[in-house]
Amino acid sequence: MNTELTVAAWPGITPRLLRPGLDTESAQQYRAAGGYRPLTDVDALHDAISQAGVLGRGGAAFPLAVKLATVRQAAQRGVDTVLVANGEEGEPASVKDRWLLRHRPHLVLDGVRLAAQIIGARHAHVYVSDERAAVAVRTALDELTPEALDGITVSMLTVAPGYVAGEETAAVRAINGGPAKPTDKPPRPFEEGVGGLPTAVSNVETLANLPYVHRHGAPTYRELGTEGSSGTFLATVTGGGRPPGLYEVPFGVAAAELVALHGVDTARVQGALMGGYFAGLLDRRVLDGALDHGSLRDLGSGLGCGAVSLITDECPVAVAASVLAYYDRENADQCGSCFNGTAAMAAAASALRDGIAEADDLARLQRWSVVLRGRGACATLDAACNIAASLLAMFPDEVARHLDGQCTRCSAGAFTATRPFEVEAS
């Protein structure tokens, strides 16, 4: 695993989330740059977040203002509420949340402070699995007085890393003293979460955008990005034989330009694994697309958590088989449909990679990728279905070669990474 990480903002923009250097920003440095600005009008800030169009950066791209409003309504009825900053970055190909927590913990805590006041919460939790991130947040909290966070108390919980541990109900369950595994829905956290109270669970990158909105306002926030995907996002880029990169990118830039910024010749790109593992595989059409939610949705893919893993010398069939094997290992062992479904799809994809699959195996893989969607307590099975369906749809020629046992790349030594395109933070 290559642990060297390039961190850079998009050329020509002033970064909103990244900052130069590998040190951890102190409270003094953060305040000197305008952080922890007093919040005098909670309603106005909530309106500004709505007008800015801030979308969740954890994967689902749900409007943050709407998420906060559902919990805020409970507070307005006199019910206690809770905020959870979710930094358990379960996607191996993503590094953005760990980087923010390790290097800019005060930016995240400032976002926690602002979001908590919007929903009327007096207590918040920072939920992580990375010990270095936990140390950075604890150190940052020790630098602050209670007044610095406007009287909001913040607790830390560190859990063992796992793909399902970052799902919002898994976070709530762990904070409540249980295992970090998803629960059935309903109820959802905004209805009944930490301690049985209405809870807003928000990704740390999402929260890290709030101080910018608070300081500069919605119109300035919207100066970058597109109408439907405003602002910037953190893109983790891997693959192509290059060290991994973390880039702050305006929504809507051409994917080919990001590939070039990462130092990879676009002629070598067969496609990409999108949104971490969740959004599945996309063929060379990725190079014709823009990096915003609507454009990628039109291509049959998604941006998810902002991770883009470039497929160059690897065989797409082998990449899909490795990801499905990962899902087979990482499912929560709670739902029969997921436990059995991920195992069956992983076995079929592995047989295809190894040149021993038959046409019936492909037919079953295709059927499973449709009929297994929406089952289980979380989206792990949906993610596995996305991998299987996108492989068959985006790379039919490669699939056909494997069915005939004619893939020269795999016969010379198949790609079998346990955690494909995994990246570590600096």
Q: What is the DSSP string of 182-204?
A: ---SSSPTTTS-GGGS-EEEEEH
Domains of the chain: 6-221 (3.40.50.11540), 232-311 (3.10.20.600), 316-406 (1.20.1440.230)
What is the rounded distance in angstroms from the CA atom of residue 351 to the CA atom of residue 280?
Answer: 19
Tokens of 5: 């990480």
- Given CA atoms 339, 188, 218, 86 in this order, what sign does their dihedral have? negative
User: What's the order of all strands across the beta sheet hosting 82-86?
Assistant: 153-158, 123-128, 82-86, 199-203
Tokens of 125: 């939790």
Q: Digits of tens for pLDDT over the chain (426 positions)?
A: 446 899 999 999 999 999 987 799 999 999 999 999 999 999 999 999 999 999 999 988 999 999 999 999 999 999 999 999 999 998 999 999 999 999 999 999 999 999 999 999 999 999 999 999 999 999 999 999 878 999 999 999 999 999 999 999 999 999 999 999 999 999 999 999 999 999 999 999 999 999 999 999 999 999 999 999 999 999 999 999 999 999 999 999 999 999 999 999 999 999 999 999 999 999 999 999 999 999 999 999 999 999 999 999 999 999 999 999 999 999 988 999 999 999 999 999 999 999 999 999 999 999 999 999 988 888 899 999 999 999 999 999 999 999 999 999 999 899 999 999 999 867
Distances (CA, A) of 259 to 58, 286, 349: 22, 10, 28
Q: Which amino acid is at 375?
A: R
Question: What is the DSSP-derived secondary structure letter of residue 285?
Answer: G
